[in-house]
Amino acid sequence: MRLLRDCSYAELRSLMDTDGLAEVHTRALWNVLMRAPDAELDGHPRFLPPLRRWLQTHVGTTWSSELPEVEQEVESSDGHTTKLLLRLQDGSRIETVVMRYNGRQTACISTQAGCAMGCVFCATGQGGFSRHLSPGEVVGQVLVARRWATGLRNLVLMGMGEPLHNYDAVMKALDIIIDTRGINIGPSRITISTVGVVPGIRRMADERRPYHLALSLHAATDEKRSALIPVNRKWPLRELMDACRYYCAQTQRRIFVEWTLIEGENDSAQEAGRLSELLSGMNVQINLIPLNPTTGYSGRAAESRAVRAFQELILQKGIPCTVRQRRGIDVAAGCGQLAGVA
């Protein structure tokens, strides 16, 4: 069964139009699907008889209105982070994380069940690839997250999976999410994080997608990066940096560079120097994140002294650089760790 939330408004409209339903019914259904997602469709008081009949014929047979089911909920001890283990229709499990800090509510959303990129330090990568998520499964996570954060307005596509490896479904989901008639999250509050899928970065630039782009770089030489991130062999640094420069030029946007600091691996002064050289002249901001330990990787988080020294060296080169907290670490905040143990 396909999900009703796989459809954009225009698709739902055309589907219902084919069956002879006027637009008022599409508006009523869309409104409930996106703005009152936990309501029962069957016998909904705002639905008129033609819509009720249409739903009775289609829902449960060709179309499903189901949201991902919350199978497990883990609250961090500081009370600011909730990690949800969600179960999809076919039994696949994914994670969604809800963060609430200083009145700012952000959801970290998954785009695939598992991931095919195989980054050695990442719990999701260690578990391998299961399948792509459909647009409705991405949209559904936002709606479920809103139960924990009613004022949710920020999204980061940094959960399980590589968003640009599932480009069409992810972009369609975001079209639905930013639709002002529905969920209505502003595109400037959405960040897509990629491991460096070069064709996807170029396509985002060509299509002028209005989202922030984060690049998980983590190493500044091909040798080191390929050891951490196997797809670097397919899209090595020179090609990746060309695509990023192209993206910045086409969109006039800044790229957020993610750098997971691993002790003795990529936290030295020499690495900081290489990184600033690699990014020279580019419109970037670097976010440093100490490694979150995972069972399948022996590396350790950089010490806080090394983190500060690394940041200082980058700042001296005139590149904006912040240190991100490992928030909610006690709920296994690293990507894919909850689904991995379930």
Residue 177: name the closest of 186, 168, 167 by CA. 186
Q: Is 162 marked active-site?
A: no
Contact between 95 and ligand SF4 by CB under 6 A: the answer reads no
Q: Quick check: is 95 catalytic?
A: yes
- Type of residue at 138: V
Residue 257 interacting with ligand SF4 (CB under 6 A): no
Picked from ligand SAH, ligand SF4, none, the partner binding residue 32 (CB below 5 to 8 A depending on kind) is none
Which of 4, 84, 107, 115 is the binder for ligand SF4 (CB under 6 A)? 115
In 252-316, alpha helices (H): 269-278, 304-316
| CB hemisphere CA count around 131 (13 angstroms) | 11
How does DSSP classify residue 264? T
Asked whether position 335 contacts ligand SAH by CB under 6 A, the answer is: yes
**Sole binder of ligand SF4 in the list 161, 182, 200, 328 (CB under 6 A):** 161
Tell me: does residue 260 bind ligand SAH (CB under 6 A): yes
CB 113 within 8 A of CB 90: no
Rule CB under 6 A: say whether 138 interacts with ligand SF4.
Answer: no
* Among 201, 334, 310, CA closest to 259: 310
Name which of 205 and 335 has its Cβ closer to ligand SF4. Answer: 335
Task: Pick from 7, 33, 119, 144 the residue near ligand SF4 by CB under 6 A.
Answer: 119
Under rule CB under 6 A, residue 12 binds ligand SF4: no
Catalytic residue of the set 7, 95, 115, 265: 95
184 Cα distance to chain centroid = 17
The residue (of 133 and 178) whose beta carbon lies closer to ligand SF4 is 133
Tokens 């970065």, located at residue: 201
What 3-state DSSP class applies to 284?
strand
**In angstroms, rounded to a whole number, what is the distance separating the alpha carbons of residues 96 and 146?**
11
Tokens describing residue 211 = 């989202």
Nearest CA-CA partner of 329 in 77, 139, 129 = 77
Whose Cβ is closer to ligand SAH: residue 92's or residue 292's? Answer: 292
Does position 265 bind ligand SF4 by CB under 6 A?
no
- For ligand SAH, the closer of residues 258 and 265 by Cβ is 258
Q: Which is nearer to ligand SF4, 7 or 229 (CB)?
A: 229
Query: What token pair was written down for 149?
Result: 């954060």
Torsion angle of C-alpha atoms 308, 195, 256, 300, degrees rounded to 10 = -10
258 contacts ligand SAH (rule: CB under 6 A): yes
140 binds ligand SF4 (CB under 6 A): no
- The binding site for ligand SAH (CB under 6 A) comprises 121-122, 158, 162, 193-195, 216, 258, 260, 289, 291-292, 294, 334-335
